[in-house]
Amino acid sequence: MVKLTDIPGIKIGHAHDLAAPTGCTVILCPEGATGGVDVRGGAPGTRETDLLNPVNYVDKVHAVLLAGGSAFGLDAAAGVMQYLEEQGIGFDVGVTKVPIVAGAVLFDLTCGSYLVRPDKAMGYAACLAAGTQALSEGSVGAGAGATVGKVFGLEHAMKGGIGAACLTAGELMVGAIVAVNCLGDVVNPADGSIVAGAFQQEPFAFLRCEDGMLANAEKTGSRFAGNTTIGAVVTNAVLTKAQATKVASMAHNGYARTIRPAHTLFDGDTIFAIGTGQVAADMNAIGVLAARAVEQAVLRAVTQATALAGFRCYQDISRE
């Protein structure tokens, strides 16, 4: 089976504090990779997304950061910057090389202690871990404090996490890594069944987040907090910035197929896309594989998660 880390030109590392819990995940592209981004959610926390607009100048990124901690977690990018500068990696400005680090954060402050967030040291540690071991999934890295199914309150929510997948078509490789911290439920797109989400304990049953939202459609106000699914699509394809942006857009179909509802006002759903430039391929094929890889990564994020901070996980309920 092909793994995401088999794609040439990238390294991925996690760092986390599982007692908090929170963490970050970094995708390093030491040689630079063409990047794009599509932000669909109504409450994003991001870094360098304007730079990835195809009309702007710099066309290569050297890392993508995914982190918990809400806006505080963007601080982890400083550690990634430090690591890359020490390695002599970045956009050459004469006096030094400035690493281009794009990133996005999710809100996990209500899972465990809000006082612990990804910081510069944690971002640096994720870089040191990149490429040194097999890529872990579940309640690690940016998924350490992730939860899902919060429409009915945190007491009915389950543990989210981070997942990865990689698909191929001939020499073309397209993978995804996604930290799932959605407001809604995660469903199996094959049959629409809920895999993880809002639940009641006695008797156990999923509460169906979309139905709950519709039942309260006439109530207004910010009733939900603590969300956002963030991820990155990585391919060995040759891409322009505009093409990478389109891949990121098509990849959001993977969210729509597996998260109900997706892209709400209370989610900052974001997908980056980076191409390392080894294989020429049809854009439509890349987009199809990207959406499928995101689907699989979302499902793996919740099925590989472990219970933390009092939140039950898929593995708990699947054994019952």
Letter for the amino acid at 176?
A
Its sign, for the CA torsion 31, 98, 274, 293, is: positive
Taken as a whole, the chain contains a residue count of 320
Query: How many Cα atoms within 13 Å fall on the side-chain side of residue 227?
Result: 29
Q: In the chain, which ranges are continuous DSSP H helix?
A: 76-86, 120-129, 209-215, 241-258, 283-303, 314-318
Closest CA to 18 of 144, 157, 109, 178: 144
The catalytic position among 228, 245, 258, 276 is 228
The CB density around residue 268, as the number of other CB atoms within 10 Å, is 25
Residue 14 near residue 140 (C-beta atoms within 8 A):
yes
Rounded to 5 degrees, what are φ and ψ at 137?
Answer: -130, 170
Residue 229 CB-density burial (10 A; 0-12 exposed, 13-18 middle, 19+ buried): buried
| 15, 17, 26, 219, 300 from 293: Cα distances, Å | 23, 27, 18, 36, 11
Burial 233-256 (b: 16+ CB within 10 A, else e): bbbbbebebebbbbbbbbbbbbbb
Residue 228 annotated as catalytic: yes
Cα–Cα–Cα angle for 154, 227, 107, nearest 5°? Answer: 100
CA–CA dist 164, 134 (Å, integer): 12
**Backbone φ, ψ for residue 20 (5° rounding):** -70, -55
> What amino acid positions are annotated as catalytic residues?
228
